């Protein structure tokens, strides 16, 4: 192994994540009045995509324990819920 170190992703600590988490419900609530005329109605799949983003990579939603066969080092890997 080349000395690479696994660094756990913590999506909740990013500014973008915090912005979406803190303001999405308000955005959804005001969308029709403020943006509906210019951009059309709020599409229902947007809510699903945003909530899947907020759940993605969060370990309480499920994880796998990964163990290196060579050195025995273990870490947790949070499941990512991304659909293509």
Q: Domain-by-domain residue ranges, the chain?
A: 15-78
pLDDT bin (cut points 50, 70, 90) of residue 83 is very low
pTM score of the predicted model: 0.58
Q: Taking phi first (over 0 means left), then psi (-120 to 50 degrees means alpha), and beta for anything else, what does residue 57 get?
A: left
Element at 63 (helix H, strand E): strand 63-67
Q: Which of 49, 47, 59, 44 is nearest to 84 (CA)?
A: 49
Separation CA 72–CA 66 (nearest Å): 9
Q: Stretch 43-71: mean pLDDT, rounded?
A: 77
Separation CA 10–CA 59 (nearest Å): 9
The pLDDT value given to residue 57: 61
pLDDT in tens, 8-21: 566 777 888 899 98
Identify which has the larger pLDDT, 36 or 65: 36
pLDDT in tens, 61-75: 666 777 888 888 877
């Amino acid at each position: 192994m080349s000395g690479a170190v696994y660094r756990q992703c913590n999506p909740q600590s990013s500014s973008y994540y915090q912005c979406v988490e803190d303001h999405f419900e308000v955005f959804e609530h005001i969308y029709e009045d403020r943006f509906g005329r210019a951009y059309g109605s709020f599409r229902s799949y947007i809510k699903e995509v945003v909530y899947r983003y907020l759940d993605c990579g969060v370990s309480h939603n499920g994880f796998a324990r990964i163990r290196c066969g060579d050195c025995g080092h273990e870490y947790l890997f949070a499941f990512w819920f991304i659909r293509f």
